[in-house]
Structure 1
Amino acid sequence: MTTTKLQNIIGVRLQKLGKLYHFDAADHAIDLGDYVIVDTKRGYQLGQVITYVAPEDVFRARGMKKIERKATPRDMVLKQVWQDKELNALITCREQADRLKFKGDIKFIKAEYNFDGSWITFLYTTENKKANVEPLRREMVRVLNTNVELQLIGPRDVAKIIGGYGACGGPRCCSTFLTEFSPVSIRMAKEQGISLSPSEITGVCGRLRCCLVYEYEQYVEAKKRLPKRGKKIGTPHGEGVVKDVRTLKESVIVEVDDKRYEVFLEQIEPLEELKALEEKAKAGCSKHENGGCDCGAK
Structure 2
Amino acid sequence: MACTNCSTSTKDGTPRGCKNNGTCGTDSCNKLTVFDWLGNMNLPSGETPFDCVEVRFKNGRKEFYRNTDNVTLFIGDVVATEAAPGHDIGIVTLTGELVKIQMKKKNIAPNSTEILKIYRKATQKDIDIWVESREKEEPIKVRAREIAIALKLQMKISDIEFQGDGSKAIFYYTAEDRVDFRQLIKEFAQEFKIRIEMKQVGFRQEASRLGGIGSCGRELCCSTWLTDFRSVNTSAARYQQLSLNPQKLAGQCGKLKCCLNYELDTYLDALKDFPDFETKLQTEKGDAICQKQDIFKGLMWFAYVENMANWHVLKIEHVKEIVALNKAKNKATSLEDYAEEITTEPELNFSKSLDQESLTRFDQPKRNKKKNKNKNQTAGVNHSQNQNSSEKTNINKEAEKTVSPSNSNRNRNSKHFKKNK
Same fold (TM over 0.5): yes
Q: CA deviation at 1:259?
A: 6.2
Q: Distance in 1 between matches of 2:87 and 2:57?
A: 11
1:210-235 CA-to-partner distances (Å, cap 9, x unmatched) read 11122222222333345554779xxx
CA distance change for structure 1 residues 104 and 188 in 2, over 3 Å: closer, same or farther? same
Contact 2:294 2:300 in 1 (8 A): no
Q: Distance in 2 between matches of 1:71 and 1:8?
A: 18
Q: Distance in 1 between matches of 2:170 and 2:77?
A: 24
Q: Distance in 2 between matches of 1:109 and 1:149?
A: 14
Identity of aligned residues (%): 27
Q: Distance in 2 between matches of 1:133 and 1:68?
A: 34
- Which of 187, 199, 204 is residue 156 of structure 1 equivalent to? 204
5+ residue gaps, structure 1, are: 233-240, 280-298
Q: Distance in 2 between matches of 1:151 and 1:114?
A: 14
The 5 A counterparts of 1:117-266 are 117-129=166-178, 131-229=179-277, 244-247=292-295, 249=296, 251-254=297-300, 260=313
Q: Distance in 1 between matches of 2:318 and 2:118?
A: 63
Q: CA deviation at 1:193?
A: 2.0
1:252-285 CA-to-partner distances (Å, cap 9, x unmatched) read 12569x7647x7x9xx68955xx79xx9xxxxxx
CA distance change for structure 1 residues 222 and 67 in 2, over 3 Å: closer, same or farther? farther
2:299 aligned counterpart, secondary structure: strand
CA distance change for structure 1 residues 269 and 132 in 2, over 3 Å: closer, same or farther? same
1:42-101 CA-to-partner distances (Å, cap 9, x unmatched) read 752222333332389452323422222233344333322211111121223234334xx4
Which structure is higher in RCO with an 8 Å CA cutoff and minimum separation 6?
Answer: 1
2:375 is matched with none
Larger Rg: 2
Residue identity matched to 1:82: S
- Which of 69, 74, 97 is residue 148 of structure 2 equivalent to? 97
Q: Distance in 1 between matches of 2:271 and 2:125?
A: 57
1:120 aligned counterpart, secondary structure: strand
Residue identity matched to 2:176: E
CA distance change for structure 1 residues 150 and 252 in 2, over 3 Å: closer, same or farther? same
CA distance change for structure 1 residues 270 and 103 in 2, over 3 Å: closer, same or farther? closer
Alignment length, in residue pairs? 261
Q: Distance in 2 between matches of 1:184 and 1:229?
A: 22
1:81 is the counterpart of 2:132? yes
Residue identity matched to 1:193: Q
Residue identity matched to 1:90: K
Q: Report the structure, 1 or 2, having the larger helix content.
A: 2
Q: Distance in 2 between matches of 1:133 and 1:14?
A: 26
CA distance change for structure 1 residues 224 and 86 in 2, over 3 Å: closer, same or farther? same
1:157-216 CA-to-partner distances (Å, cap 9, x unmatched) read 333344443333443333343333222222322222222232232223221211112222
Deviates more, 1:112-121 or 1:38-47: 38-47
2:67 is matched with 25
1:285 is matched with none
Q: Distance in 2 between matches of 1:271 and 1:210?
A: 35
1:68 is matched with 119
1:229-252 CA-to-partner distances (Å, cap 9, x unmatched) read 4779xxxxxxxx9875444x4x31
Q: CA deviation at 1:117?
A: 0.5
Q: Distance in 2 between matches of 1:132 and 1:243?
A: 52
Q: Distance in 2 between matches of 1:269 and 1:42?
A: 72
> What's the C-alpha RMSD, in Å, of the aligned pairs?
3.7
2:82 is matched with 39
5+ residue gaps, structure 2, are: 1-35, 43-47, 281-288, 303-310, 329-421
- Which of 47, 54, 70 is residue 11 of structure 1 equivalent to? 54
CA distance change for structure 1 residues 128 and 48 in 2, over 3 Å: closer, same or farther? same
CA distance change for structure 1 residues 223 and 137 in 2, over 3 Å: closer, same or farther? same
Q: CA deviation at 1:22?
A: 2.3
Contact 2:292 2:301 in 1 (8 A): no
